[in-house]
DNA sequence: ATGGCTTCATAGTGAAGA
């Protein structure tokens, strides 16, 4: 199973790139974030014509998640059970016996912001729910835009970013709490190029200067980690005309 | 240099992203 995550920053704008990329890379499952698309206007027909069934949970203007799959999808669940939240950030479904959990984790804005407190509370609720979800589904993949860079090597300038949102210690601890459930970072199961990132700011020519962060992740439960053959970032998509500020991340699981 | 770019939204003194 080739599974991918991509924060597309508006599916309406990025749909041609998404279709072209899926045709070329032939993933089996694609998790999207920041679709910014209400369910009534989701482009399900275009995706079906390309061979993908879609399940989605969106809202106007902000957030929005979707799972696209070549294979049948079962057990669809939106949101974190018991966590009151208007924001559409979580969608789970089972594909080929694998529990797929697509997440768009909050940004946080800055460490002083109320949105930062929301981010940490959201992460705590996600962790608690996933502990149960992993007991129900030993084969689980948690993937999406986590808005946290785990380590120094995931940040172009760790001294500049120290203590800042996306790299502050409480956020990294919240991400580590997911690893401590038994989830593995697929990207670090393999040798990778130095300065591998998944997001680059639109401003300041950040992509050309490779001033990025690795904040989009594919986390695997142990049974899946043992069956994973590769994990890569498709950074070429960030060099396209009118790109998303995030690149897709792909993992190959041998089922 | 608290900006810088992009999207969705509305016509704001924009809001939010990361």
Separation of alpha carbons A102 and A91, rounded Å: 5
pLDDT in tens, chain A (255 residues): 999 999 999 999 999 999 999 999 999 999 999 999 999 999 999 999 999 999 999 999 999 999 999 999 999 999 999 999 999 999 999 999 999 999 999 999 999 999 999 999 999 999 999 999 999 999 999 999 999 999 999 999 999 999 999 999 999 999 999 999 999 999 999 999 999 999 999 999 999 999 999 999 999 999 999 999 999 999 999 999 999 999 999 999 999
Separation of alpha carbons A241 and A140, rounded Å: 34
Task: For residue A12, report the phi and psi dihedrals to the nearest 5 degrees.
Answer: -60, -45
Residue of A28, A79, A145, A185 marked active site: A145
Q: Which two tokens stand for residue A122?
A: 């959201």
pLDDT at residue number A96:
98
A9: the nucleotide nearest its CA (via C1') is B7
Strand B reaches within 7 A of the A8 CB: no
3-state secondary structure of A250: strand
pLDDT at residue number A198:
98
What DSSP designation does A41 have?
G
H-state helical runs in chain A: 11-25, 44-49, 114-136, 158-161, 169-179, 222-225
A200: the nucleotide nearest its CA (via C1') is B18
pLDDT at residue number A127:
98
Q: What share of chain A is helix, strand, coil (3-state, %, to 5)?
A: 30, 30, 40
Strand B reaches within 7 A of the A59 CB: no
- Give which of A35, A133, A45, A38 is closest to A93, Cα–Cα: A133
């Amino acid at each position: 199973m080739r599974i991918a995550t991509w924060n597309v920053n508006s599916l309406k704008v990025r749909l041609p790139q998404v279709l072209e990329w899926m045709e070329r890379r032939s993933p089996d499952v694609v998790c999207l974030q920041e679709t910014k698309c209400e369910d009534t206007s989701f482009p399900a027909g275009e995706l079906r014509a390309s061979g993908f069934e879609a399940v989605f949970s969106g809202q106007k203007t902000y957030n929005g998640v979707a799972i696209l799959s070549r294979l049948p999808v079962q057990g669809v669940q939106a949101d974190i059970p018991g966590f009151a939240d208007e924001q559409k950030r979580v969608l789970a479904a089972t594909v080929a016996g694998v529990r797929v959990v697509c997440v768009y984790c909050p940004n946080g804005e800055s460490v002083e912001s109320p949105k930062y407190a929301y981010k940490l509370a959201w992460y705590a609720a996600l962790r608690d729910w996933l502990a149960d979800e992993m007991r129900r589904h030993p084969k689980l993949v948690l993937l999406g835009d986590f808005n946290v860079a785990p380590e120094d090597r995931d940040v172009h300038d760790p001294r500049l970013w120290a203590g800042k949102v996306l790299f502050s210690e409480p956020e990294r601890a919240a991400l580590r709490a997911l690893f401590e459930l038994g989830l593995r970072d697929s990207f670090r199961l393999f040798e990778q190029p130095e300065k591998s990132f998944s997001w680059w700011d639109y401003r300041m020519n950040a992509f050309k200067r490779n001033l990025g962060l690795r904040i989009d992740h594919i986390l695997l439960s142990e049974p899946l980690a043992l069956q994973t053959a590769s994990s890569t970032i498709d950074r070429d998509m960030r060099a396209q005309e009118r790109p998303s500020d995030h690149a897709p991340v792909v993992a190959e699981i041998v089922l």
